[in-house]
Amino acid sequence: MKRSGFYLLVGIVIFYCLAPLIWQFITSLKPDYELTMIPPVLPKNPTTDHYISVFKGHPFLRIILNSTVVATSTTLLSLAIGSLAAFGLAKLRIGYKTLILGFILSVSMFPPIATVSPLYIIIRGLGLRDTWWALIITYTTFSLPLSIWILVNFFREIPDEIYRAARIDGCTKFQAFYRIMLPLSAPGIFTTAILVFIFSWNEFLFALTFTSTTASRTIPVGIALFPGLHEVPWGDIAAASVVVTIPLIVLVFAFQRRIIEGLTAGAVKG
Amino acid sequence: MKEIESGNRFVVPALLLLSLVTVYPLIYVFYLSLQRRLLIFDISRFVGLDNYIFLLRDDRFWNAMKNTAYFTVVSVSLELLFGLSIALLLNRQFRFRGLVRAIVLIPWAIPTVVSARMWEWIYNTDFGILNYLLGTEINWLGSPSWAMNAAIFMDVWKTTPFVAILLTAGLQIIPRDLYQAAMIDGAGSWAVFRKITLPLLKPVILVVLIFRTLDAFRVFDAVYVLTGGGPANTTETLSIYAYKVLFQTLQFGYGSTLSVIVFLCTGGISLFYVKLLSRGMK
């Protein structure tokens, strides 16, 4: 293939991936009357009105707070519980280990819709409806297979001798885990954290079902149910979309290597 | 060293949580599916297999099944095709490869809901850029013949990166000298692709297919936000139908029956692929 032809193809891929986002960004800068102008081209009088209106008119800050709390708590909990299990599965003797690993893998294939009705009844029964906890507990559980799967791979790569040395030096099993093994698997922990965070930041079905007010509504629900009195407020939706997408774009550019590593950990090696 | 020390206690929290939040609800949903349960009136009555018998004669269910199958087959095929093309491109050495890879990841990273609303605006009949660029006046999301394809295209845009990234990783574990040997033997690039790349990539392709097929079969967000299942239920997938029965008409019994069906189908799909994969390994 010729060099120029190759770069043309790369250019097409970049365009394919970015064009919808760029168009959304352009839309967010257009005053309302320009949104309905034909031809739909670049804004003649760019404005930040939509950004101001998103933050002023709607409880958007609260929704961002909800998503931040839910995604951060989920990440921490999933890492804590997942790393314990992954360490045990990678380094210690556990009865029915293959069965447990198979069970964890099969849980990752559960369709969320299959458990949403009983979970709704349980959560309502516990009085957790429309709270952060409803989402944190659900997300933590559904992200556990991913966390455990990635972390088992990382723990396996740490030589057994290191763990044994820690035990001989007088560490308990748990101390050996969090003083020695955990710091050594920091890259794995980090990779897992990013993926779990993105999963909980983006999840929609459970969020739509378990939340009912802005007390706990997360960003995807807020954007899906964006309030409009008569017509759809395209400019505001575009502005809100841009705001909530920025953290993800930052994550992708900062940690693309880790993300790719995490995504491929289970699929290619396993 | 064989692992001599017991680690049972380390897995207890994870197994406890997984049992309480996934296994128990799964048993519960089977139980619910045998009931007539209307949440608002506090009605709950055991009806045996009545819901399943009703399901067999429910046209809307079969319609949703057909839509889901169509969505799954078409979107996964296109994703594999586009994903493989992008992977072959990204597998070459070039400047800014890291940057391009990060850009490719962006559609994967943004929330599905956000991408659905983005495309909703692109597809807009009167003011959308798509109709302007094509010089058409198609009601993409409002016409029964276009809506599903429009939803599929959005999903393909969103999930091709995932496929491309996994396949790129798969390509990179193919030994370079194999290619060099083939080149020396005078094999053309198409022959190299068919005889070396494709066979060696097969296990990774199968794994990607498992992930994507299961994900596409339970599709909810993408289509629900874009079309809500309309027009005239032409984009109503199984998950959307189940969601509507559960949370819009509040029939928890029949809705759970639909959920059970989705579960059984995904179970069947997984088994099928696992069989295929284990046969490929031998």
pLDDT at B211 over 80: yes
Q: What local confidence, expressed as pLDDT, does residue A33 receive? A: 86
What is the mean pLDDT of the segment spanning A150-167?
Answer: 91
Residue B221 contacts A, CB cutoff 8 Å:
yes
Which amino acid appears at position B50 of this protein? D
For chains A and B, what is the number of CB pairs under 8 angstroms?
A: 284
What is the mean pLDDT of the segment spanning B6-21?
Answer: 94
Nearest to B241 by CA among B122, B71, B90: B71
Give B145 to chain A, closest Cα distance, Å.
23
Q: What local confidence, expressed as pLDDT, does residue A230 receive? A: 62
A146-150, A190-194, A231-235, B240-244: range with lowest mean pLDDT:
A231-235
Cross-chain CB nearest to B29 (options A91, A117, A148): A117
Residue A250 contacts B, CB cutoff 8 Å:
no
**Residue B95 and residue B120 share a domain:** yes
Least CA distance to B238: which residue of chain A? Answer: A113
**Residue B151 and residue B16 share a domain:** no
Q: What local confidence, expressed as pLDDT, does residue A270 receive? A: 46
* Residue A268 binned pLDDT confidence (cut-offs 50, 70, 90): low
Let me know if residue B2 belongs to a domain: no
Locate A215 and state its tokens: 């007390």
Domain that holds residue B22: 8-46
DSSP string, B144-200: TTTHHHHHHHHHHHHHHHHHHHHHHHHHHTS-HHHHHHHHHTT--HHHHIIIIIHHH
Let me know if residue A154 belongs to a domain: yes
* Contacts of residue B181, Cβ cutoff 8 Å, sequence gap at least 6: none
SS (H, E, C) A190-225: HHHHHHHHHHHHHCCHHHHHHCCCCCCCCHHHHHHC
**Residue B82 and residue B23 share a domain:** no
Q: Buried b vs exposed e over A233-260: b needs ≥16 C-beta within 10 Å?
A: bbbbbbbbbbbbbebbbebbeebbebbb
The domain spanning residue B222 has which CATH number?
1.10.3720.10
**Residue B167 and residue B32 share a domain:** no
Residue A234 contacts B, CB cutoff 8 Å:
yes
Instruction: Give the CA radius of gyration of chain B.
Output: 23
Nearest to A201 by CA among B114, B246, B14, B119: B114
User: Is the CB of A17 less than 8 angstroms away from the CB of B28?
Assistant: no
pLDDT at B280 over 70: no
pLDDT at B1 over 50: no
**Residue B106 and residue B32 share a domain:** no
Let me know if residue A41 belongs to a domain: no
Let me know if residue B37 belongs to a domain: yes
Q: Buried b vs exposed e over A16-38: b needs ≥16 C-beta within 10 Å?
A: bbeebbebbbbbbbbeeebbeee
Element at B106 (helix H, strand E)? helix B97-109
**Residue B65 and residue B20 share a domain:** no
- Do A187 and A121 meet the contact criterion of CB atoms below 8 Å apart? no
Q: What local confidence, expressed as pLDDT, does residue A232 receive? A: 81
Least CA distance to B93: which residue of chain A? Answer: A6
Cα dihedral across residues B183, B185, B186, B192: positive or negative: negative
Which amino acid appears at position B172 of this protein? Q
Residue B140 contacts A, CB cutoff 8 Å:
no
Nearest-angstrom CA–CA distance, A111 and B259: 9
pLDDT at B226 over 70: yes
- Average pLDDT over chain A reads 91
Residue A268 contacts B, CB cutoff 8 Å:
yes
- Do B120 and B147 meet the contact criterion of CB atoms below 8 Å apart? no
Give A6 to chain B, closest Cα distance, Å.
8
List the beta bridge partners of residue B35.
B46
Cross-chain CB nearest to A113 (options B2, B121, B243): B243
Residue A237 contacts B, CB cutoff 8 Å:
yes
List the beta bridge partners of residue B251.
B38
**Residue B29 and residue B100 share a domain:** no
Cα dihedral across residues B75, B80, B82, B83: positive or negative: positive
pLDDT at A71 over 90: yes
- Average pLDDT over chain B reads 91
- Do B257 and B33 meet the contact criterion of CB atoms below 8 Å apart? yes
The domain spanning residue A145 has which CATH number?
1.10.3720.10
Let me know if residue A145 belongs to a domain: yes
Q: What local confidence, expressed as pLDDT, does residue B276 receive? A: 87
pLDDT at A122 over 80: yes
**Residue B167 and residue B254 share a domain:** yes
Cross-chain CB nearest to A20 (options B122, B217, B225): B122
Instruction: Give the CA radius of gyration of chain A.
Output: 23
- Chosen from A99, A113, A148 to mutate, greatest number of chain B CBs within 10 A: A113
pLDDT digits (tens, 9 = 90+) for A84-107: 999 999 999 998 999 999 999 888
Let me know if residue A263 belongs to a domain: yes
Residue A170 contacts B, CB cutoff 8 Å:
no
Q: What local confidence, expressed as pLDDT, does residue A176 receive? A: 92
pLDDT at A7 over 60: yes
Number of domain units in chain B:
2
Let me know if residue B109 belongs to a domain: yes
pLDDT digits (tens, 9 = 90+) for B130-166: 999 998 999 999 999 999 999 999 999 999 999 999 9
Domain that holds residue A83: 61-218+244-269
Number of domain units in chain A:
1
* Residue A229 binned pLDDT confidence (cut-offs 50, 70, 90): low
Let me know if residue A223 belongs to a domain: no
Find the DSSP H helices in chain A: 3-28, 32-35, 49-57, 60-91, 97-107, 112-125, 132-157, 160-168, 173-175, 182-184, 186-202, 205-210, 219-224, 234-264
pLDDT digits (tens, 9 = 90+) for A12-37: 999 999 999 999 999 999 998 888 88
Let me know if residue A46 belongs to a domain: no
Share of chain B above pLDDT 90, in %: 71
Burial class (CB in 10 A: 0-12, 13-18, 19+), B200: middle
Let me know if residue A151 belongs to a domain: yes
Nearest-angstrom CA–CA distance, A48 and A29: 6
What is the mean pLDDT of the segment spanning A155-183?
Answer: 91
Let me know if residue B217 belongs to a domain: yes
Let me know if residue B119 belongs to a domain: yes
What is the mean pLDDT of the segment spanning B96-106?
Answer: 92
